[in-house]
Amino acid sequence: MAETVVIQVSSDGTHLVTGTNQTIYLYRPMQTDPFHKYIPWGSQFPGYMQDFILQWNPLIGTPKAGSGVNQGDLTTITRGGNPDKAQQQVVYKGWWLYIIPVAPAGTQNPVEGQFELVSPKDDLLELPASKIDDDVGNPGVPNYGGP
């Protein structure tokens, strides 16, 4: 059974964090190409980018809404081709969520145009499920992917 992950608004109200105050990010390039056909996993990025990409880990678990977050905005997407090793990545308003596990709780390290803080005030791009052909084998599921 997946661990429960609390998703809440940070104490300053500017972005989302976990219940342990770990800063949460989304992978922004999907906003400019919501009908993508393929986004590589971290290990498939060019060698010179792998150290950077692989530090951003998918936020894995069963989401539970904390302060300032609506449970209806939280879902999951199944990652991994092997059902025995599949993991549930937390999704907020259609966006896959990421953390940097090596960063101390509360650390903010956005990478503009790629990994960015998730603002609870953002009116994030959402598309009808019928418009999405997802790259991880879930056609019809509105999500915006990431490595």
Ordered by start, the domain boundaries in the chain are 4-131
Once rounded to an integer, what is the mean pLDDT over residues 127-143? 42
**Lowest mean pLDDT segment, chosen from 5-14, 91-100, 121-130:** 121-130
Q: What is the pTM of this model?
A: 0.72
CB 80, CB 86: distance < 8 Å: yes
Instruction: List CB contacts of 32: < 8 A, sequence separation 6 or more.
Output: none
The pLDDT confidence band at residue 56, using thresholds 50, 70 and 90, is confident
Residue 135 has a pLDDT of 44
* Closest to 118 in 3D by CA, of 98, 102, 100, 89: 98
Residue 131 has a pLDDT of 42
How far apart, in Å, are the Cα atoms of 36 and each of 54, 110, 139, 146? 21, 23, 12, 11
Residue 130 has a pLDDT of 38
Please write the tens of the pLDDT for every residue from 58-108: 899 999 999 999 999 999 988 876 666 778 999 998 888 999 877 777 788
* Closest to 19 in 3D by CA, of 58, 56, 53, 68: 68
CB 88, CB 60: distance < 8 Å: yes
Return mean pLDDT, the chain: 75
Tokens of 26: 């989304």
Residue 124 has a pLDDT of 58
Instruction: List CB contacts of 18: < 8 A, sequence separation 6 or more.
Output: 5, 6, 7, 8, 24, 59, 99
131 vs 58: which has the higher pLDDT:
58
